[in-house]
Amino acid sequence: SAKATSATYSKGLDTYKVSMRLHAENRSKLVKQMSDAPKNGVCLFLGGETSHRYETDMEHPFRQESTFLYLFGVHEANCLAAIDLADGASTLFIPRLPEEYAVWMGEIYPPSHFVTKYEVDFCRFVDEIPEWMASRQPETIYVVEGINSDSGSNSKPAAFDGIAKYNVDRSRLYYDVAECRVRKTKAEVDLMRWVNSISSKAHMEVMRKVRVGMMEYQLESEFMHQCYTHGGMRFLAYTCICGCGVTGATLHYPDNDKQIADGAMCLLDMGAEYHGYASDITCSFPASGKFSQDQKDVYNTVLEAQRAVEAAMKPGVSWPAMHRLSERVLLEGLANRGILQGSIDEMVAANLAYYFMPHGLGHMLGLDVHDVGGYVKGDKRSTEPGLNRLRTNRVLEEGMVLTVEPGLYFIKPLLAKLYADPAVARFATPRLRDFENFGGVRLEDNVVVTATGIELLTKVPRTIEEIEAVMAQQWTPA
Amino acid sequence: SAKATSATYSKGLDTYKVSMRLHAENRSKLVKQMSDAPKNGVCLFLGGETSHRYETDMEHPFRQESTFLYLFGVHEANCLAAIDLADGASTLFIPRLPEEYAVWMGEIYPPSHFVTKYEVDFCRFVDEIPEWMASRQPETIYVVEGINSDSGSNSKPAAFDGIAKYNVDRSRLYYDVAECRVRKTKAEVDLMRWVNSISSKAHMEVMRKVRVGMMEYQLESEFMHQCYTHGGMRFLAYTCICGCGVTGATLHYPDNDKQIADGAMCLLDMGAEYHGYASDITCSFPASGKFSQDQKDVYNTVLEAQRAVEAAMKPGVSWPAMHRLSERVLLEGLANRGILQGSIDEMVAANLAYYFMPHGLGHMLGLDVHDVGGYVKGDKRSTEPGLNRLRTNRVLEEGMVLTVEPGLYFIKPLLAKLYADPAVARFATPRLRDFENFGGVRLEDNVVVTATGIELLTKVPRTIEEIEAVMAQQWTPA
Ligand SMILES: [Mn+2]
Ligand SMILES: [Mn+2]
């Protein structure tokens, strides 16, 4: 139903106003994606549920389940929703709240409030689903059931009293939604561009404030504060990784509890989300504000890999090919700088890059940081080292949003393996030993694939000159 | 086993160093508490497990389960632990981590590392529990199973392959642990005093920074940043409640997404935790920095109630009596200021206070913000209005840590009920109508019961003069 004006979601001040048309368009995409299904079908979705710390009454701030947010934009907990395939009509089902809710949690709104707020076609109570479904008598009820290709875990499908009386299809809806989520609409890209700009600015503010002697978690705290204060972003897209010094070589380092030493290379992988849409940005820089020669050599090698990939990305290019490209540029960069030696082709044949970048080049980004749809249903991960780590094996298409995140890490157990295996140890120069406590460098951009190439969503300093200039601003005497 | 020096937990810089003796003492208390049990028994505890956002691979930062933290001080996920009642020996069981963990999450340590780190007597792997238990052949295995009196939810008991072959007691350990946790040791109080000082300072910094026109969540963000940066506190003890203006009348207001209007009374209920130990502090102040007469009248009434209770608290005093005392002082204060009228005794008989403070006066505080042990096993909540909301009905004892949090709220649905019932409407003066959009005032201190009274752990400005002075400091031109 076209409307002259549209309801929006925003966190006030100058934060982004998300039009509810974004979600109407997402629902239309899904109905089209399922156009081969019998028309008398209903898709039923389960929203996220409130959660607590263990058995206590400490309730966590509520973050909506991503597919539910994608289709309906709803931020309330304990809802379900349906899409009628016959006409695309959307019905939100809200919980019937106890009278006490108004005293403890906030105003209780009637269903009509949510029709206006979210521009769904209808709103009923959750306890009315059995009756609602009986009046529809759908040939099939489709529910979201599938295995997340990053976690290996199952999604929790919608259910209601009496669902067993219906023909329930648990096989396709998860994958149909994933296909839709893989290609972003203009409205989604516009939103993600803003999310990226807020996280980018927060990264720059952290760069200005970092000092030798600080704790890693103080950088995490500054980042979260910047994103929440300036972007209304209560949630991060993932837990901050603040590896400064040797901890930078732990790929998903979760602790952030070490003190930052002089000479440390900081690797900060941090991104906030807004209305569920994620950013995922990594900056690397020296705590001192000035790159040493070792730091320059590793950093510029990674930057060369990132730029080579970003220059080559466009529709029709396969992601595994981009991964292999980044590996080759990384190996060339290390060889050019005397950290590795020998034939690049032989290094590639020996999968040498895997010892220095044992993760994939990047992944789909959207409402989940490792967004759904990396693999088409039935596709399996490659078994080749390097490619086996890729979170997607897709060929690029316009509208896909991905991270480009090459990195170089000096990971003690992997270096030990390298030195123990003559087939790869022969590529090491004596200089490689100098990097044992270096940590790592990762440069992670978020990009959207356009008709002819990419648009870079991330706006952070990337060259050594840019980084040193940003960090130096703070050093001007007050 | 007494040691000359003790291992400590700390987040670096000048954050608090928690001695592992604190947990050894907690274990000793539990063994003593269970001295009536057969000596050939083993208590088995389940630590917290890693958790993810729905079915995705987004792992939440890990927060240990409170009883496990209380007894062992361990911050690693997916552990179990045992205490042998015969000799008090403690055994920690750690998960056997895959080789990949070292690349993605951090160094893999052997069991001996944890014996040193946490000063437990033994450390083994989780998969060794069946064999370990078989070698012990305990007469009874005690596991933690009980209903949290605040949430009504069950705790998750420890289990292992083959536990069914043993005599398992699921009835007492939960309550024995709760009895221990109710009375804090000196080491716990010392830690909680520091936690309170950090949260108190953060509250004051928020007071200095609040401005009309800000969003409520910007106060939440500032508080979290202060506590994490200066206290290493990654976790809050509970979600911040930042009700500014009318939202202050929603007792557990979870949204914090409204803009702060001129004339708004801010009610900020915020507390961080360290090593799991909570603070729970509420400050109330005008966004403008200057109290209006209406704000002074409500504020001073609540302050009189808080001071009356804190002056009366000492061992032997019952908490329900303190709740009733606070209600009477609140009613007197409102009557003295022309907001209510009539006989205080009649107001008390009509349970009038319940319309203005529909929550309990305070609760136990410890490793949970609503700490365990509020009710002795088998005790039920009173059915009387006011007392039915109390999270504890205990008689005060030395070492108990509680919140003292009287409040006055102008809650629309409750005021509507009041006006609709002649039995209570008669106490309203016309002036009460002026407060319909006031929101609320709550003043929440954390106190420890001493031999003769209490020690106040919370150090925030409480009088109107103190608050206005703190807020004015920031207004000095730069
Ligand atoms: Mn990433
Ligand atoms: Mn409280």
What does the pLDDT look like over A170-198, one tens digit per residue? 999 999 999 999 999 999 999 999 999 99
pTM over 0.90: yes
pLDDT at B406: 98
- When pLDDT is averaged across residues A370-399 and rounded to a whole number, the result is 93
Check whether A478 has a pLDDT greater than 90. Answer: no
CA dihedral A307, A309, A312, A318 (to 10 degrees): -170
pLDDT at A282: 98
pLDDT in tens, A259-293: 999 999 999 999 999 999 999 999 999 999 999 99
Beta strand A445-449 with A454-456 is: antiparallel
pLDDT at B18: 98
pLDDT in tens, B33-68: 999 999 899 999 999 999 999 999 999 999 999 999
Binned at pLDDT 50, 70 and 90, residue B475 comes out as very low
pLDDT at A377: 87
Strand order of the sheet with strand B90-94? B122-125, B90-94, B80-84, B41-46, B140-143, B168-169
Residue B37 CA to residue B42 CA, distance in Å, equals 10
Residue A438 CA to residue A293 CA, distance in Å, equals 12
Distant-in-sequence, close-in-space partners of B109: CB < 8 Å, separation ≥ 6: none
Looking at every residue in chain B, the average pLDDT score rounds to 96
pLDDT at A1: 46
Instruction: Output B218-223 pairs: Cβ under 8 A, ≥24 positions apart.
Output: B218/A228, B218/A229, B219/B244, B219/B256, B219/B266, B219/B268, B220/A228, B220/B256, B220/B270, B221/A224, B221/A225, B221/A228, B221/A229, B222/A225, B222/A229, B223/B268, B223/B270, B223/B272
Does B151 contact A56 at a Cβ distance shorter than 8 Å? yes
pLDDT at A380: 87
Check whether B1 has a pLDDT greater than 50. Answer: no
Distance B363 CA to ligand 2 centre (A): 7
Check whether B477 has a pLDDT greater than 50. Answer: no
The residue of chain A nearest to residue B58, with distances taken between CA atoms, is A238
pLDDT at B474: 58
pLDDT at B385: 87
Percentage with pLDDT > 90 across chain A: 96
Cα angle A308, A250, B102; round to 5: 125
pLDDT at B378: 85
Distance A176 CA to ligand 2 centre (A): 46
Percentage with pLDDT > 70 across chain A: 98
- When pLDDT is averaged across residues B431-439 and rounded to a whole number, the result is 98
Does A215 contact B12 at a Cβ distance shorter than 8 Å? yes
**Element counts in chain A: helices (H) and strands (E):** 15, 18
| ipTM of the complex model | 0.97
Does A250 contact B220 at a Cβ distance shorter than 8 Å? no
Does A61 contact B228 at a Cβ distance shorter than 8 Å? no
Binned at pLDDT 50, 70 and 90, residue A351 comes out as very high
Two structure tokens written together for B156: 């998750």
Indicate which ligand has the atom closest to the C-alpha of B362: 2
- Rg, chain A, Cα only: 24
Indicate the residue of A54, A56, A60 with minimum beta-carbon distance to B150: A56
Count of Cβ atoms closer than 10 Å to residue A419 Cβ: 14
Two structure tokens written together for A52: 């607590």
Residues of B in Cβ contact (< 8 Å) with A65: 54
Indicate which ligand has the atom closest to the C-alpha of B404: 2
From residue A362, give the alpha-carbon distance in Å to each of A201, A374, A377, B55, B223: 22, 10, 20, 20, 35
Residue B287 CA to residue B285 CA, distance in Å, equals 6
Check whether B4 has a pLDDT greater than 80. Answer: no
Q: Give the DSSP H/E element, type plus range, for residue A24.
A: helix A21-33
Dihedral sign for Cα atoms in the order A98, A99, A102, A103:
negative
Residue B202 CA to residue B184 CA, distance in Å, equals 25
- In sequence order, what are the beta bridge partners of A274? A277
Measured in residues, chain B has a length of 478
pLDDT at A474: 58
- When pLDDT is averaged across residues A345-354 and rounded to a whole number, the result is 98
Residue A180 CA to residue A189 CA, distance in Å, equals 14
Does B251 contact A224 at a Cβ distance shorter than 8 Å? no
Residue A132 CA to residue B126 CA, distance in Å, equals 49
Contact B7, B118 (CB under 8 A): yes
Q: Give the DSSP H/E element, type plus range, for residue B473.
A: helix B464-473
